[in-house]
Amino acid sequence: MKLLIIGGSGHVSGALARAAVARGDAVWAVTRGKRPLPEGVRSIVADRKDSEAMAAAFAAFGLEWDLVVDCICFDLPDIRQDIALFRERTRQFVLVSTDFVYDPARRSFPQPATTCAYVSGGDGSLEYGRKKRLCELELIESDTGAMAWAIVRPTHIYGAPSELGCLPLHGRDPRLIARLRSGETIHLVGGGHFLQQPILATDLADLVLSMAGNERAFAGIFNAAGPDVIESRRYYEIVAETLGVRPNIVETPVDAYLAEHPGQAPFLCHRFYDLAPLRSAGLSVPATPLVDGLRRHVETLLTQSLTDPAAL
């Protein structure tokens, strides 16, 4: 398969690129050339914010792909660019969206992909979710020609090299390992009692690759989550157990925190999903237990810290 990734050097896009190369696919990635790509990935250097440069880059290559995956589509100009560039250049397109498209105050449990309760906007993560939903709608409602499409909505994604942490005030906290080791207090909004279903980046990559050529995925919208529904505080407990320490978790009241940080609302709700639609479509269902995935995540970061002590 010939795969093109918009991104390629990030957390999700890097995992996707490595998984595709490992299975023998020919992989290209569009990046600005600021960071190295995974081994075996061919580079197309262009800034997606420069539409003319993007168009020129693809005209020069003159290639067609079996699958294009956009991991960094954040706003309407991005998805419009995708449709214009690839409707004649690829058989299939996958948009990596987010579960932040759902209105955090009107969620269902478990949350289905079909709903009328979408986020309407706001600050921070609320606005991020609104823009992602607009990208989804643009793809759904546009004339994409012979290009089949699918949308995947991952929940919290973990796995090295990303930072650890899934909940305010310690989300993607670069010092979380150091804080736990030193016995520092970990302040979790709501005491970390919100339910969620984190997904390992490599499981997400396998899911996306399983969409390739699968007609049951065409025009499909899929939630993407791991196999385990846990309280958010359990995430931090697993990290601490891996380090051989006990976490000192203290509750930060939800109402007071949201009054000051309303844009963080998408984090402060239950986020879990029924994975049956993935099975029904014959897709790769994420299966890595959270305990195993998080331990590998922590161990990889610890190994990296041996060569870069400042990382922790």
Q: What value does the mean pLDDT take over residues 68-80?
A: 97
CA nearest to 13, candidates 26, 24, 27, 1: 27
Q: Which residue has the tokens 């759904």?
A: 140
The Cα 128–Cα 138 span in angstroms is: 16
Task: Check whether 71 has a pLDDT greater than 60.
Answer: yes
Please tell me the predicted confidence (pLDDT) of residue 310.
52
User: Is residue 286 a contact partner of residue 203, using CB atoms and an 8 Å limit?
Assistant: yes
Work out the mean pLDDT of the chain and round it to a whole number.
95
Superfamily (CATH H level) for 2-311: NAD(P)-binding Rossmann-like Domain (3.40.50.720)
Strand partners for 231: 195
pLDDT digits (tens, 9 = 90+) for 170-201: 999 999 999 999 999 999 999 999 999 999 99
Residue 33: pLDDT band (50, 70, 90) is: confident
| Res 60: pLDDT | 85
> What DSSP letter does each residue of 41-97 carry, written as one string?
EEEEE--TT-HHHHHHHHHHH---BSEEEES---SHHHHHHHHHHHTTTBSEEEEE-
Q: Does the structure show a pLDDT above 60 at 73?
A: yes
Confidence of residue 219 (pLDDT cuts 50, 70, 90): very high
Task: Work out the percent of the chain whose per-residue pLDDT is above 70.
Answer: 98
pLDDT of 311 over the 90 cut: no
User: For position 131, what pLDDT does the model report?
Assistant: 98
Report pLDDT digits (tens) over 115-144: 999 999 899 999 999 999 999 999 999 999
Asked if 217 contacts 211 with a C-beta cutoff of 8 angstroms, the reply is yes
71, 6 Cβ separation under 8 angstroms: yes
Q: Where are the domains of the chain?
A: 2-311
